């Protein structure tokens, strides 16, 4: 069948104005209001004082709103296969709907543009949440290791070094292999990992508000509600609000990322705590007779937040690259998944001169990671000013 085509200029216009306009509007509102009230927004507002910070926020907000509005931005379902559009060139118009395959079709006749946009949802679901959980695991174990030292430090450091010494790719391969999945180990491990944010939150609220039982009870109820949502959604695959659909493959990747990232966070937190615990304000808290856990959470941890925030931004970028690498090697999401790594792998098997199909998802991954690195650089500059 002879297909009609849009010109390259029309393709660019369709992408920028017809498909992405909700993203531009949302970005303009967010960044405009943030810049207007930046002096009231603390550290986030300070990022608007540098071009690096603005650039990082712009790139990240673009992909955030692309994920939020993906159902509107994407002209086709990322899993739909339309036989006539197999290996279609960019701008080819699908005869039945009259809508164009803006970035062409892949070898299975799926719209590359829709897959790139929808893939951002997977990245924004796994990478930040996995990094946050890895951060809480590392903090919960790193605080006592650095503060108490001795046997506590030796035991926890040995476990962290044991994980770090294991080859990362082999570790991921074992965690996502069908034999391991059938044992239910990923779900059990996820259950253990999600306990760490709960422990850290309970420890923080319990030591700070022990003398205010009503406020403590309210805060613990909020923690309990969040815990219920986490376990229902990510361990039992049943989001009570029906907003997030987590599959077994997503959980496997999530567990693997947390398992591999936690020891690195642990070592950073441990080193920071060993330095900060010698400060005068920590000695003053000890003199007042404060609980060691109170000192760790409310005296030491807040003064380590700068390096940890920067590390979290960089670690989300590393996780994104890792997800792409796993998808490229077939160790990540299912073969039909629109995640960027799988899309790059599918596109790399098709050669054509006019916009290679692996190029759009590769640029998407690169721009997202670049935004995180720019944001980390801006945060580092602001922390040095303080």
Q: Which domains does the chain have, with CATH numbers?
A: 8-118+354-385 (no CATH), 124-325 (1.10.3720)
**Single pTM value for the model:** 0.87
In the block, tokens 């790719």 appear at: 169
* Per-residue pLDDT tens over the stretch 274-293: 999 999 989 998 898 888 99
| Helical residues (DSSP H) of the chain, grouped into ranges | 8-13, 21-36, 42-46, 51-68, 70-73, 112-148, 150-164, 168-176, 178-182, 185-193, 195-208, 213-230, 248-276, 280-287, 292-294, 305-328, 340-348, 359-385
pLDDT for the residue numbered 345: 81
pLDDT for the residue numbered 334: 76
How far is 365 from 316, CA to CA, in rounded Å? Answer: 12
Q: What is the DSSP string of 130-184?
A: HHHHHHHHHHHHHHHHHHH-HHHHHHHHHHHHHHHTS-HHHHHHHHHSHHHHHTT
How far is 143 from 270, CA to CA, in rounded Å? Answer: 6
Q: Which stretches of the chain score pLDDT less than 50? A: 353
* Per-residue pLDDT tens over the stretch 137-185: 999 999 999 999 889 999 999 999 888 887 777 777 776 677 777 777 8
């Amino acid at each position: 069948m002879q297909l009609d085509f849009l010109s390259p200029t029309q393709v660019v216009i369709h992408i920028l104005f017809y498909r992405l306009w909700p993203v531009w509007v949302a970005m303009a509102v967010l960044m405009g209001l943030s810049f207007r009230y930046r002096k009231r927004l603390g550290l986030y507002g300070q990022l608007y004082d540098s071009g690096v910070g603005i650039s990082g926020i712009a790139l990240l907000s673009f992909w955030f709103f692309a994920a939020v509005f993906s159902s509107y931005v994407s002209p086709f379902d990322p899993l739909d296969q339309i036989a006539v559009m197999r290996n279609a060139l960019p701008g080819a118009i699908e005869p039945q709907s009259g809508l164009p395959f803006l970035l062409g079709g892949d070898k299975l006749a799926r719209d590359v543009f829709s897959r790139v946009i929808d893939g951002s949802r997977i990245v924004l679901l796994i990478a930040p949440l996995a990094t946050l959980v890895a951060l809480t695991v590392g903090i919960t174990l790193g605080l006592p290791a650095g503060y108490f030292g001795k046997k506590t430090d030796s035991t926890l450091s040995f476990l962290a070094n044991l994980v770090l010494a294991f080859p990362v790719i082999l570790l991921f391969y074992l965690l996502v292999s069908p034999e391991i999945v059938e044992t239910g180990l990923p779900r059990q491990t996820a259950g253990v990992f999600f306990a760490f944010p709960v422990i850290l939150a309970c420890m923080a609220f319990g030591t700070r508000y022990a003398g205010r039982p009503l406020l403590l009870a309210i805060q613990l109820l909020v923690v309990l509600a969040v815990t219920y949502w986490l376990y229902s959604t990510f361990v039992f695959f049943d989001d009570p609000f029906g907003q997030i659909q987590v599959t077994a493959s997503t959980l496997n990747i999530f567990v693997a990322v947390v398992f591999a990232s936690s020891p690195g966070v642990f070592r950073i937190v441990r080193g920071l705590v060993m330095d900060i615990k010698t400060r005068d304000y920590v000695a003053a808290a000890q003199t007042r007779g404060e609980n060691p856990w109170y000192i760790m959470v409310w005296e030491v941890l807040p003064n380590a937040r700068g390096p940890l925030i920067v590390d979290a931004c960089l670690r989300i970028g590393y996780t994104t690259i890792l997800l792409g690498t796993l998808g490229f090697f077939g160790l990540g999401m299912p073969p039909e998944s629109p995640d960027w790594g799988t899309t790059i792998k599918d596109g790399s098997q098709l050669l054509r001169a006019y916009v290679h199909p692996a190029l759009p998802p590769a640029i998407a991954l690169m721009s997202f990671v670049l935004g995180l690195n720019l944001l980390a650089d801006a945060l580092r500059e602001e922390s040095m000013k303080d």
